[in-house]
Amino acid sequence: MWDWEYAFSIMPQLLEALQITIIATILGFLLACILGLLLAFARRSKFKPLSLVTGGVVEFVRSTPLLAQLYFIFYVLPQCGITLSPLSAGVIGLGLHYSTYLSEVYRAGIDAVPRGQWEAATALNLSRTRTWVSIILPQAIPPVVPVMGNYFIGMFKDTPLLSAITLVEVLQAAKIIGSRTFQYIEPITIVGLMFLVLSYVSSLGIRRLEARLNRW
């Protein structure tokens, strides 16, 4: 049976853990956006060795489980002298993993820019940096915002994997609460509703951002 008093009593603990989930998602996605763009640039490089190495790294990361990568960052790197907190390791793991997917998204957006735009930039004698910042990226990124938004929501739903490296995110907090009281219905249900609400709100925000970018 559902116990409302118990449900309300555990809400503060779940909301506190939810903050960790949101922080890990936002920081991980920001890192993925930055690394993904750098990987896209490197993969388009005319310097063949850099392009080939980058392509190999992207395929390797995409072809291995996120959980295995988190284990490597948190448990293996300390043996090499690199020790990270659970949150830092989680953010890096999420950011690195999803950056490989975002790099392909960026690459698709860049390839969709008409060739005439590149030729116009050359005719205007614009520097390579000015061409990218002022002409190419403003046209390449808006069309791929919905896809990037889908990856953001996907990352949010992948944060429970961080419990494997001892980070107490919202689902792990619910499991701990349930193990103490042997009442799992309320905490697990509340967490499921939290994920549903935040995912839905995120999707609405992404749609509004897409509509605003398209108006520009």
Contact indicator for 176, 196 with CB cutoff of 8 Å = no
What pTM does this model have? 0.92
Q: Which two tokens stand for residue 67?
A: 């959980």
Contact indicator for 112, 89 with CB cutoff of 8 Å = no
Which pLDDT score, from 0 to 100, does residue 210 have?
84
Instruction: Report, as ranges of residue numbers, the positions in the chain whose pLDDT lies below 70.
Output: 215-216
Which pLDDT score, from 0 to 100, does residue 46 have?
86
Which pLDDT score, from 0 to 100, does residue 216 have?
61
Burial of 122 (0-12, 13-18, 19+ CB in 10 A): exposed
Which pLDDT score, from 0 to 100, does residue 192 have?
94
Residue 134, C-beta contacts closer than 8 angstroms, at least 6 positions apart: 126
Which pLDDT score, from 0 to 100, does residue 65 have?
95
Report domain extents, the chain: 4-215
CATH 3.40.50.300 is held by the domain 4-215: no
In tens, the pLDDT along 131-141 reads 888 888 888 98
